[in-house]
Structure 1
Amino acid sequence: MNNQTVRTTLTLPSELLEATDKVVQEGKAKSRNEFVAQALRRELAALKRAEVDAALAEMANDPEYQAEVLKMEAEFASAQWEALQLGESPE
């Protein structure tokens, strides 16, 4: 993770700034900066998860992908059966 910081200015609704200051005063965050950075990290992670979920949903509806999954499942089933037989055979 890059620890470099950059100074910027944000315009926020007053109620958000007041709520942030209250969180800092209560000791739930070290500073406004830390709280905002943490909130941004969480939101960015949520957006990334949403992108991954959307990609998975798209894959689930892709007939070519589904055919490939079925092919791999069949290959793994065969390999698992062979491994099970090898494990049960007397040495």
Structure 2
Amino acid sequence: MRTTITIPDALVAEADALVGSGGIATRNQLIIEALQNWVELRKEELIDNEFTMMASDSDYIAETLAIESEFTQSDLEVATSNDD
């Protein structure tokens, strides 16, 4: 998809100076890879935020502890069978 964006001249100059190095052959490729990297970082941040919220969710913590206690005996059995 073609689109038009406005980029500050100084940033374009810096980017253009780097085109041709690090496996980036064109300005277009640089912009695509930069945008892909930003999107991936943002997705990771959103996932991290969800985990942070889970850490303070009392219902989630209670459910996790209940599940953990249900597996205590089987975990112990596996641990002792590995000692053989």
| 65, 73, 77: which one aligns with 2:72 | 77
| 1:81 CA drift (Å) | 1.2
Match of 1:66 in 2: 61
TM-score (norm 2): 0.85
Match of 1:54 among 27, 49, 53: 49
State the shift of 1:76 in Å. Answer: 2.4
Query: Counterpart in 2 of 1:3?
Result: none
TM-score (normalised: structure 1) = 0.79
Instruction: Tell me the distance in 2 between the aligned counterparts of 1:13 and 1:83.
Output: 61
Q: CA deviation at 1:52?
A: 0.6
**TM-superposed deviation, 1:77:** 2.0
Could you tell me which runs of 5 or more consecutive residues in structure 2 were left unpaired when the two chains were aligned.
none
Task: Identify unmatched segments of 5+ residues in structure 1.
Answer: 1-5
Root-mean-square deviation (CA, aligned residues, Å) is: 1.8
